[in-house]
Amino acid sequence: MPTITKALLTSIEQLAYEAGEAIMQVYHREFDVELKADHSPLTEADKAAHIIIMRGLQTLTPEVPILSEEDTQHFSGPSAEGFYWLVDPLDGTKEFIKRNDEFTVNIALIFKGKPVLGVVVAPALKLTYLAAEGLGAFKAGVDGKWQKIQVSSSPLEGQPWRVLGSRSHADARMSRWLEALGDYQLQPMGSSLKSCLIAEGKADVYPRFGPTSLWDTGAAQVIVEQAGGRVVTFENLPLSYATPDLVLNPDFVVWGM
């Protein structure tokens, strides 16, 4: 079974890079868009990244099952020890189609219902966020060097909350929640980048009402938690990945404190 090490985190980072490069090859030319059964969009970039990640993980840790957004039917559940990989080959397909650069590759390792290692690569922005239990949380730019990151804690007195919201999903409950929060500035953004910005201290909170799946949140959750933040339900319980056959998350909030 996998051991959480810097070497493993580096290997997953490289795999996510390779998937990101395949995505960018499609991004820079014309491409077709299909609709899946749930009416969410699918492109050849999603498929290409999925194939690269699946092959890479199967080579790296052949004993660990893989749950990918693009292949849920072949996932038979966690290993006997409680491990599985959780993959979103292209998070933010709508942002990819709009060509606004706010899309990511998400790879997380789950152990006994908890994400313990995660990598988020934003290939168009040339940014990487990565973390693992016992190692901390990091950001890497074009030079590839890991810089430790941490959340910023709550705003200073008199300062507004820096709130991130989904660019593609609006909700009336969000408006009511923000009214109760107090003075705030709202910045829309796509994909798991919202959680990553909180992890590096560039925003304070991201409330999410409406549907998300396990693969949307797993990798970013490790990064937020290792940077000192929280990803919790509105009942203040951590998001759980213990029952992966139920792929939908409850409503949740990411706190940088």
In this predicted structure, which of 114-123, 158-167, 201-210 has the lowest mean pLDDT? 158-167
3-state secondary structure of 204: coil
Residue 7 has pLDDT above 70, yes or no: yes
Question: Do 137 and 174 sit in the same domain of this protein?
Answer: no
Domain with residue 98: its CATH number is 3.30.540.10
Report pLDDT digits (tens) over 82-129: 999 999 999 999 999 999 999 999 999 999 999 999 999 999 999 999
Question: Do 128 and 205 sit in the same domain of this protein?
Answer: no
- pLDDT, position 169: 66
Average the pLDDT over 171-194 and give the result.
92
Task: Provide the residue type at 84 as one letter.
Answer: Y
3-state secondary structure of 245: coil
Q: Are strands 230-233 and 252-255 parallel, antiparallel or unpaired?
A: antiparallel
Q: Is residue 88 part of a domain?
A: yes
> What percentage of the chain exceeds 70 in pLDDT?
99
130-166: string of b/e by CB count within 10 Å (b at 16+)? bbbbebbbbbbeeeeebeebebbeebeeeeebbbbbb
Of 255, 9, 13, residue with least CA distance to 141:
13
- pLDDT, position 124: 97
Q: Is residue 153 part of a domain?
A: no
Q: Is residue 155 part of a domain?
A: no
Last residue within a domain, chosen from 148, 180, 208 = 148
Question: Do 111 and 222 sit in the same domain of this protein?
Answer: no
Question: Do 122 and 235 sit in the same domain of this protein?
Answer: no
Phi, psi of 151 (to 5 degrees): -70, 165
Task: Provide the residue type at 166 as one letter.
Answer: S
218 exposure class (CB count in 10 Å sphere: 0-12, 13-18, 19+): buried
Higher pLDDT, 157 or 241: 241
Question: Do 121 and 186 sit in the same domain of this protein?
Answer: no
On average, the pLDDT of the chain sits at 95
Domain with residue 217: its CATH number is 3.40.190.80
Q: Where are the beta strands (DSSP E) in the chain?
A: 33-35, 41-43, 66-68, 83-91, 104-111, 114-122, 127-132, 136-140, 146-148, 161-166, 184-189, 205-208, 230-233, 252-255
Report pLDDT digits (tens) over 13-67: 999 999 999 999 999 999 999 988 888 899 899 999 999 999 999 999 999 999 9
Domains contained in the chain, number: 2
- pLDDT, position 122: 98
Question: Do 114 and 232 sit in the same domain of this protein?
Answer: no
The parent domain of residue 60 ranges over 6-148
- pLDDT, position 172: 83
Q: Is residue 48 part of a domain?
A: yes
pLDDT tier, 133 (very low <50, low <70, confident <90, very high otherwise):
very high
